[in-house]
Amino acid sequence: MTIWCDKETAVQIVESGNHVFVQGACATPTPLLEALVARGEELHNVELTHLHTYGPTHYTDEHWRGHYSLRALFVGENVREAVNAGRASYVPVFLSDIPMLFAKDGALSIDVAFVHVSPPDEHGYCSLGSSVDAARAAVDNAEHIIALINPHMPRTHGDSFLHISQIDCAVHWDGPLYEIESRKPNETQLQIGRNVAGLIDDGATLQLGIGAIPDAVLRALSDRRDLGVHTEMFSDLRRHT
């Protein structure tokens, strides 16, 4: 049974010793994280796991050592200092291997999943929206699911849906998603992009990450034809054509 409540009530599900998955990228559920950190004095040994997130990561502050820890599956800018300082750990892992870790008998089984989803449709299905990646495996295996329900979250298709009945605590949230501004590549990065583009022929299939160098590669591919894309993330092509 789904309980509709505020974020402070929702995070009461989390108990000391729990392993909490946090959906990432532009779907990072920052309000739930803030509410969880506010409970810090009463919780101990809560481990959070996520890939690339945006926004504040106060749970990695030295003050919360022994209360919260982070096992990062991707070291983004907002957690790099904590990993380098030893306040967070990093697990080098292929994205395709993460579902195995999240299985109920896996090394990183999930007690609680924090997700950020679209409102339910007429059949009760919410979409994981802009960041499905490992969140699919997390919600399939978590003992409890806490969700921000946000009308700004787009409905993405494919294997991205979960029924509202799967959600233990649902929090109405009407706020913008994180947006990432493209940074203009400098001359060195542009030259690297041109060098890489010289290896790419018409009809090639692309896998690209995010950042100035992948953007520079795309800028140098405007004269290619019949390119395919098979990738977990991609820059905005409109900025490069």
Token pair of 46, please?
Answer: 């809560």
**Which secondary structure element, helix H or strand E, spans residue 149, and what is its range?**
strand 144-149
Q: What average pLDDT does range 158-167 have in this prediction?
A: 96
Token pair of 209, please?
Answer: 């990450």
Do 3-172 and 187-239 agree at the fold level?
A: no
- pLDDT class for 71, splitting at 50, 70, 90? very high
Q: What average pLDDT does range 117-128 have in this prediction?
A: 98
Q: What average pLDDT does range 159-169 have in this prediction?
A: 97
Q: 3-172: which CATH topology?
A: Glutaconate Coenzyme A-transferase (3.40.1080)
Distance between CA atoms of 74 and 22, rounded to whole angstroms? 12
Question: Residue 94's closest CA among 73, 108, 76, 70?
Answer: 73
* Extents of the domains making up the chain: 3-172, 187-239
The CATH classification of domain 187-239, taken from the options 3.40.190.10, 3.30.750.70, 3.40.1110.10, 1.20.1250.20: 3.30.750.70
Is residue 72 predicted with pLDDT exceeding 90? yes
Distance between CA atoms of 16 and 116, rounded to whole angstroms? 23
Q: Using one digit for the tens of pLDDT, what is the confidence trace for 93-121?
A: 999 999 999 999 999 999 999 999 999 99
Q: What average pLDDT does range 216-241 have in this prediction?
A: 79
Is residue 239 predicted with pLDDT exceeding 60? no
Task: Enter the pTM of the model.
Answer: 0.86
Token pair of 185, please?
Answer: 């590549």
Q: Using one digit for the tens of pLDDT, what is the confidence trace for 35-57?
A: 999 999 999 999 999 999 999 99
* Burial classification of residue 208, based on how many CB atoms lie within 10 Å of its CB (0-12 exposed, 13-18 middle, 19 or more buried): middle
Mean pLDDT of the chain: 94
Question: Catalytic: which of 122, 179, 181, 232?
Answer: 232
Cα distances (angstroms) measured from residue 138 to each of 59, 116, 162? 20, 13, 11
180 contacts 210 by C-beta, under 8 angstroms: yes
* Listed range (73-77, 80-84, 183-187, 226-230) with the worst mean pLDDT: 183-187
The larger pLDDT score, comparing residue 84 to residue 211, is at 84
- Tell me whether strands 161-163 and 125-127 are parallel, antiparallel or unpaired: antiparallel
Is residue 188 predicted with pLDDT exceeding 90? yes
Is residue 146 predicted with pLDDT exceeding 70? yes
Distance between CA atoms of 139 and 136, rounded to whole angstroms? 6
33 contacts 7 by C-beta, under 8 angstroms: no
Residue type, 163: H
Whether 42 is catalytic is: no
